[in-house]
Amino acid sequence: MNLQAQSYPGIFITFEGIDGAGKSTHINHFARKLQEKYPNKKIILTREPGGTDLGEKLRTELLNQPMHPETEVLLMFAARREHLAQVIEPALMSGDIVISDRFTDSSFAYQCGGRGISVTQLNTLENWVQGRTINGQAYEIQPNKTFLFDLSVEIAQKRREQTRTPDKFEQLDTNFFNLVRNEYLRRAEVFQNRIKIIDASLSIDDIQKIMDLEVGLL
Ligand code: TMP
């Protein structure tokens, strides 16, 4: 059941994947196509960690400063709480479309899958930060649709090496990224209605065609 659709008029879409899978390349194209389809809708492009002044400051620390894994997950959710309060929820309540480069699936993939934080702890944080009661009904703010850009860890690593200086996460080894990828794929299995896997080994053109079809379905 799509609880969000009953609770607010906006649409929440997220892009996910391991570093180097190429998701960021496709977000702008997707947003442009969606705007063509819904010319009267406001489309908000945002990202995590980040999306607010405070969130961007936390992002700088999270991507550069070594810290305990629990500190890391708590800061990710602190940034998310602010992001929801300042950007995501007001937009969804106003009927806008929010497209976020990463959201809570990243925390499950990186902090549970990669770092070994327990899923039970993550579930608690998710419920705390995303849980709401509207008109007496309890629900969690969740994306309506998530695109998971899936790619082998080795290819993603080669792509990263060609394009950028690695941040704290991108310096981690293939074992870490295999754990992250497996957790993403496990979640895609559990949340089949929400998470659509995109084969990120395809060409940019082929992926854009797939994304165009997805725009048609929204
Ligand atoms: P990106 O926004 O450039 O893709 O990278 C952000 C990094 O932060 C990426 O390595 C994944 C990581 N991350 C987490 O570990 N947990 C999270 O909850 C989020 C949102 C991002």
- Domain extents for the chain? 3-217
pLDDT for residue 6: 53
Q: What is the mean predicted confidence (pLDDT) over 89-113? A: 97
Predicted model pTM: 0.95
112 lines ligand 1 (CB under 6 A): no
Band (pLDDT 50/70/90 cuts) for residue 2 is very low
The preferred substitution site among 110, 117, 129, 184 for testing ligand 1, maximizing ligand atoms within 8 Å of CB, is 110
- Cβ of residue 19 lying under 6 Å from some atom of ligand 1: yes
How large is the average pLDDT for residues 204-212? 96
Alpha-carbon distance of 168 to 153, in angstroms, equals 16
Q: For ligand 1, atom 2, which residue shows the shortest CA distance?
A: 48
Cβ(82)–Cβ(52) under 8 Å? yes
DSSP element (H, E) containing 45 = strand 43-47
Would the CB of 105 count as within 6 Å of ligand 1?
no
Q: Is 146 in the pocket of ligand 1 (CB under 6 A)?
A: no
- Cβ–ligand 1 distance for 108 under 6 Å, the answer no
Checking if the pLDDT of 5 tops 70, the result is no
Residues 182-189: contacts with CB under 8 Å, at least 24 apart: 182/113, 183/108, 183/109, 183/112, 183/113, 183/114, 184/16, 184/17, 184/18, 184/105, 184/109, 184/113, 184/148, 184/150, 185/148, 185/150, 186/113, 187/105, 187/108, 187/109, 188/148, 188/150
How far apart (Å, rounded) are the C-alpha atoms in residues 207 and 218? 17
d(CA 164, CA 179): 22
3-state secondary structure of 102: coil
Assign domain 3-217 to its CATH superfamily: P-loop containing nucleotide triphosphate hydrolases (3.40.50.300)
Asked if residue 3 has pLDDT above 80, the reply is no
> Is 50's pLDDT higher than 80?
yes
